[in-house]
Chain A
Amino acid sequence: MNDLKRLLEGEAVRPLIGGASLALDDGDYARFLGYCDDPFNYRIRVWSPDLKKDMTWLEHDREGLIELFKSLPEHLQRQGRLHRQVTVATVEASNVDGFLVVTSPFVVHHTNLEGQTHTLAVGRYIDIVNMTDEKIVLTARDVMLDTRDLGIGLHVPI
């Protein structure tokens, strides 16, 4: 029974993670936020072998993300397009009823304006997903980055 439940949850989660990734690829941040709960917390974390510490490179609540997205057209940004290749690997029940912990390894490719593509980053999304009969949304996303040299960096969530 539990296996079947987990299978069904996995099936339900996949379009959420995939849809959120496609929205980010498209730079359609309103659509991305549509996949996110209110409140929502987003964080990029990195382990530093130099400092032997965890670092936080970006952290925003929903309001902070909205403010960031609003400001983007004013910023000088990396040109081209990002492509996130995401695989939902595990879906587990959390300690809180109705919430799932979803782990998804990802690879982000960048295609520049000349059409050249290179790998920009790899890591894992650790998502807390709120799943009820009415909705299925991201409540929190921790991006655990393996890549620590991002070249010129990014203004947008990975």
Chain B
Amino acid sequence: MSARSKSSWETAPRLPAGHFVSGLVYTDPDVYQDEIDNIFSKTWRFACHESELLEPFDYRVIDHAGQSLICIRGDDGEVRAFLNVCSHRGGKLLTEPSGNARLITCFYHRWTYDSLGACTGIPRPSGYSKEVAKDTMGLRGLRTTVKHGLVFISLDEGAPDLDAFIGASLDQFSEMLGSTPLEVFHYNRAVLNCNWKAWHETNMDLYHEFMHVVLRQTQVSAMPMEDRRLITFQNGHGGSGGDLKAAYDGYEGFAGRGGDVPPLPGTDPTDFRFVDLFPSTAIIARGTVIRIDTATPLGPDKTLLEMRGLGVKGEPQEHRQARQRHHNQYWGPFGRNVPEDMIAAEACADSFRNQAGRYQIIARDENLTGQDDAILRAFYKEWGERTGRDPGNPIEPADPVSDQVRA
């Protein structure tokens, strides 16, 4: 037993492909650009919950793949999405994060658009040739689909439908999300100093339960590890394959959790289920409350994290307060767990930033039970297919022959 040498440290682990990840996937600017071009510009992304767009003309402004988007409900009830950019001179149209806009008016030259994305007004149009007219100057429309109240958008007009992309991965949430109206009662953003994957890994990695005292005391022993069921889906999604259990009495202050508010449809207060949607959205339910988080890359080592908490729409105030309490026990900026996950994501980023850390091992194999790394491996398999890069070696090593020829 001894510390490892430089060459040992820097050599890829002797593990099967897909069971380790190079630190370069978190830091390399070319890898990052490939992710923007081939993942975030090509897949579906959770944008918001439809309760955030309750009334006609309600809108939300979303950051995605470096672009600002508008999600807006039309007076026909349909939710649509557009780039938040004026067709005229590129002015950012809506600057508030949410609101209600019967007409979307560009502040710069007062061009206007409706909730269908059509251009409805150009001041003094006679100064333009017929190429610049209302009927040709609409907003750039984006594909938008609402499923179980979740609004998804895609920048890619050729992407397969949302249902084909997510497959059965949301099925375990269909009753919970779809059988009673829900609403978002918590929203917060945080910019983290880490790559977006480092955050999403905290959702996919069950082994890190040991980091959280709350999970050590409520979850690790709540059911036999071999009885846990995990599942992976095509296209890089994964999650719980059956309800996991939490024993809240194990952590002082959490005892009795769930006795004060009805569980969400189809669950027991002690149930815990989750799904990680490729590329960067996680939905986590703890019996009485749901969290949805989405990581948006801002750069190789900067990530915007958005977190939502959902409860039952129109519920009595005491139920809402209980659900809010349950949410805040784990999640939110003052939760017992979420700050710990953020610390972990930033700590790993620190190691990989200057290549002190070289590889990340995702080799736990427990036959889709316990704390199997299968969800991480499914994610990186999809990541590799979309970027055309090997997660274990994302940068082609220099070819010594061609280097010599060039010299």
The answer to whether A and B come from one shared complex is: yes
Interface assignment of B156: CB less than 8 Å from any CB of chain A: no
CB–CB A153/B96 < 8 A: no
Q: Is A97 an interface residue (CB 8 A)?
A: no
Contact of A59 among B98, B189, B325 (CB under 8 A): B325
Contact A57 to B98, CB < 8 A, known contacts A68-B253, A76-B343, A148-B189:
no
B346 proximal to A (CB < 8 A) = yes
Contacts of B212 in A (CB 8 A): 76
For the complex, what is the distance from the CA of A58 to the CA of B333, rounded to whole Å?
A: 9
The reply to whether A153 and B253 contact each other, CB–CB distance below 8 Å, is no
B186 within 8 Å of A (CB atoms): yes
> CB-CB < 8 A to A56: which residues of B?
321, 324, 328
Q: Chain A nearest CB: distance from B347 CB in Å?
A: 9
Q: Are A155 and B339 closer than 8 Å at their CB atoms? A: yes
Which residues of chain B are within 8 angstroms of A52 by Cβ–Cβ distance?
Answer: 98
Whether A78 contacts B184 in the complex (CB less than 8 A), given A71-B213, A153-B335, A155-B336, comes out as no
The answer to whether A153 and B333 touch across the interface, beta carbons within 8 angstroms, is yes
Q: Is B155 part of the contact surface with A, judged by Cβ < 8 Å?
A: no
Chain A contacts with B in 64-123, Cβ cutoff 8 A: 64, 67-68, 70-71, 74-78
Interchain CA distance A49-B334 in the complex, whole Å: 19
Chain B residues whose C-beta falls within 8 Å of the C-beta of A51 in the assembled complex: 52, 98, 184-185, 187
Whole-angstrom CA separation of A75 from B343 in the bound complex: 11
Cβ-defined contact, B185 with A57, below 8 A: no
User: Are A50 and B97 in contact, CB atoms less than 8 angstroms apart?
Assistant: yes
Q: DSSP class of B's interface residues: helix, strand, loop or mixed?
A: mixed
Size class of the contact patch on chain A:
20 to 34
Least Cβ distance of B25 to chain A in Å?
Answer: 22
Q: CA–CA, A76 to B338, complex, Å?
A: 10
A99-158 CB contacts (< 8 Å) to partner B: 148-155, 158
Interface residues of A in 37-52 (CB under 8 A from B): 44, 46, 48-52
**List of B residues within 8 angstroms of A5 by Cβ:** none
A50–B186 Cα gap in the complex (Å)? 10
Bound: A71/B329 CA distance, A = 12
A46 to B325, CA, bound (A): 15
Interfacial chain B residues near A158, Cβ < 8 Å: 334
Residues of B within 8 Å of A58, CB to CB, are 328, 332, 334
| Shortest distance from the beta carbon of B321 to any chain A beta carbon, whole Å | 8
Chain B residue contacts of A7, Cβ below 8 A: none
Q: Which residue of A lies closest to B96 (CB)?
A: A49
Q: List 17 A-B contacts (CB under 8 A).
A: A49-B98, A50-B52, A51-B52, A56-B321, A56-B324, A57-B328, A57-B332, A59-B328, A70-B252, A75-B340, A76-B339, A148-B189, A150-B333, A151-B192, A152-B342, A154-B334, A155-B336
